[in-house]
Amino acid sequence: MIRIFIFIAVLSLPLIASQQALADYFLWEDKDTGLTVTFPDTWKKQINSNPDDILTIMAPSATGNPMCKIKAVEDKRYAIYPAEYGRAVQKDAVSTAFWHSYMANYDDYTLNSVYDGGGLGRWLASYAFATYNMRAGSAYQLRRSVMFASLYHDTLYTVECSALNHEYDKWDNNFRSVIKSIDFKKAFHERSTGDYDDFLKKANHYFWAQTGPEGTVNY
């Protein structure tokens, strides 16, 4: 009887461990945009500081003040362009100039590096690394951040994860994990004609030339 009990207990350990692992993360969804993100359940939601922020979370730390925030803004400037122009749209809409505009909200910022051709959710993105000062009461905090921005269909998504400069490296992997978990509500089909036959094949050659952010496409 004792052996049977031990055997059952051992078999139940993986299930218990699995349940604990599942309980370690929280899946959050924005009801308006459909964006989803996963983060450790030890991280706590905070009050958003800006009207466009949809989520602000903070990790437990007495010395690093690590946090991530996600912003979603309606932006229909490029919604007319087909998905195939996504790379050109990304470079035109969210690149170095965009990040300088974004960082202007902070005091004494330094945009350390900007990269195109990244990914956020299910779309193309620009990402950047920066340092800046942020007022905390009567003092200033020197913070370091990693930021991603993606213009997916008609919504501009921006995610920023930051910590006090001296502890950023400690949280970098956690930040990347949160950012990688982000997904958007699907807006584009994988095929330009959806689930239908490609009845538009060669039509652009005979009837029109598409125009994108970089100019007319020649056929």
Q: Residue 163: inside a domain, yes or no?
A: yes
pLDDT of residue 82: 87
Sign of CA pseudo-dihedral 180, 181, 182, 188 = positive
Q: Residue 142: inside a domain, yes or no?
A: yes
Q: Residue 15: inside a domain, yes or no?
A: no
Domains of the chain: total:
1
pLDDT of residue 171: 97
- What would the two tokens of residue 81 be? 């362009």
Q: Residue 217: inside a domain, yes or no?
A: no
**CA–CA separation, 135 and 82 (whole Å):** 42
Q: Residue 206: inside a domain, yes or no?
A: no
Contact 55, 69 (CB under 8 A): yes
Residue 61 neighbours by CB under 8 Å, 6+ apart: 163, 167, 171
In DSSP notation, 22-80 reads HHTEEEEE-TTT--EEEEETTSEE---SSTTEEEEEE---SSS--EEEEEEEE--TTTT
**CA–CA separation, 219 and 203 (whole Å):** 11
Residue listed under structure tokens 């952010």 = 213
pLDDT of residue 134: 87
Question: pTM of the predicted model, to two decimals?
Answer: 0.76
pLDDT of residue 136: 76
Q: Residue 101: inside a domain, yes or no?
A: yes
Nearest to 145 by CA among 123, 125, 167: 167
- Which stretches in the chain have pLDDT values below 70? 1-23, 188-219
Report in angstroms the alpha-carbon separations of 204 from 83, 215, 216.
Answer: 16, 15, 12
Nearest to 42 by CA among 171, 165, 204, 131: 171
Q: Residue 192: inside a domain, yes or no?
A: no
* CATH number reported for the structural domain that contains residue 81 in this entry: 3.40.1000.10
Structural domain of residue 97, as residue ranges?
Answer: 21-186
pLDDT of residue 2: 44
**CA–CA separation, 150 and 158 (whole Å):** 7
Q: Residue 112: inside a domain, yes or no?
A: yes
Quick one: DSSP state of residue 96?
A: H
